[in-house]
Structure 1
């Protein structure tokens, strides 16, 4: 076995052990019988129901593409933050899903889809209102999560770092959607 294969095997074994530890932790502290589990389920399901009723179906593809961008970037950044130890989520909906699937796949994307829809329909400044919502989410929602022990900072990470993350993600998502809309308009 080569040195690379040995190193890879060692990392794989550690990952399997950590996955097993997370599953046991989830069973002990975050399973179906706990309020955090149901909190995460509600945070995942309710925004999707709201989106179903509030989505402007004439712009569904654009709004969905924007929301998908938000979801993917938040999942990447959240994974980076948790893997590097900047923050943790003490409770998870399911141990084999990303740590904050309710936030990254539902609540945050839906909030920003509805914001994006509103600014488009009312000809408002996206960046201004996205900044306001980012302030509310990073300093308000995450503060609530910290106070309820649903989110923990480590290694000097703080709310301001979350705000910067939100702003980068919102800028990237908007620019990507604008680029594809430009391509579409050029082709017509």
Structure 2
């Protein structure tokens, strides 16, 4: 029984490896040479990080970057889940084994970082601005990516699913950041 179970598991892993090899070949055949689309995805990876370095509030650097890291982790896991379940994928990735890296690691976290940063020292409401951002990303940005052939959705997945995904990301990131700020304050007062 144990040997059969492990043998079946090894078959599944091999199928995944073969699938990744096919995606790598697709990338070499089509994605790497699609001039506009490929370089647009590269720009989604590079330009937001450059902009972040130039415009981040240096006085609250650690807090803001922790928030951005929380967005990156949560969005990365949600994106990985969606790709593994066959809900969506990226036909023109910058790196074939990391198809969502441009959005997961750069563009989306940086967008939410600036929403968070803009609400830190003002009376702006984070959840309102986060929701507006989620609406724009789900109902304007993602349809644009679909139209350009940079994002594909499968099955019954809709832009509403993507909207709720973005909402869960910005709520999770805010709660995690607030939790760690509270822990930091608690440790300071307990000394």
TM-score normalised per structure 1: 0.96
Q: Which residue of 2 aligns with 1:16?
A: 17
Q: Which residue of 2 aligns with 1:35?
A: 36
> Please, what is the CA RMSD of the aligned residues?
1.2
Q: Which residue of 2 aligns with 1:150?
A: 150
- Is contact 1:87–1:152 with CA below 8 Å preserved after alignment? yes
CA distance in structure 1 between the aligned counterparts of 2:153 and 2:62, rounded to whole angstroms: 36
The gaps in structure 2 that reach 5 residues or longer are: none
Q: Which residue of 2 aligns with 1:69?
A: 70
CA distance in structure 1 between the aligned counterparts of 2:39 and 2:104, rounded to whole angstroms: 17
- Is contact 2:71–2:109 with CA below 8 Å preserved after alignment? yes
CA distance in structure 2 between the aligned counterparts of 1:154 and 1:40, rounded to whole angstroms: 21
Q: Which residue of 1 aligns with 2:133?
A: 133
CA distance in structure 1 between the aligned counterparts of 2:27 and 2:73, rounded to whole angstroms: 24
Whether 2:181 is the aligned partner of 1:181: answer yes
Q: Which residue of 2 aligns with 1:59?
A: 60
CA shift at 1:33, angstroms?
5.5
> 1:122 is paired with a residue of what secondary structure?
coil
CA shift at 1:123, angstroms?
2.7
CA distance in structure 1 between the aligned counterparts of 2:34 and 2:159, rounded to whole angstroms: 30
- Is contact 1:32–1:38 with CA below 8 Å preserved after alignment? no
Cα displacement string for residues 104-163 of structure 1 (whole angstroms, at most 9, x for unaligned residues): 100010011111010002231100000000100111100100111111111110111100
Pairwise mapping of residues 52-131 of structure 1 onto structure 2 (< 5 A)? 52-97=53-98, 99-131=99-131
Over 4 Å off, 4+ runs: none
Query: How many residue pairs align between the two structures?
Result: 187
CA shift at 1:49, angstroms?
0.6
Cα displacement string for residues 153-178 of structure 1 (whole angstroms, at most 9, x for unaligned residues): 11110111100111111111111110
The gaps in structure 1 that reach 5 residues or longer are: none
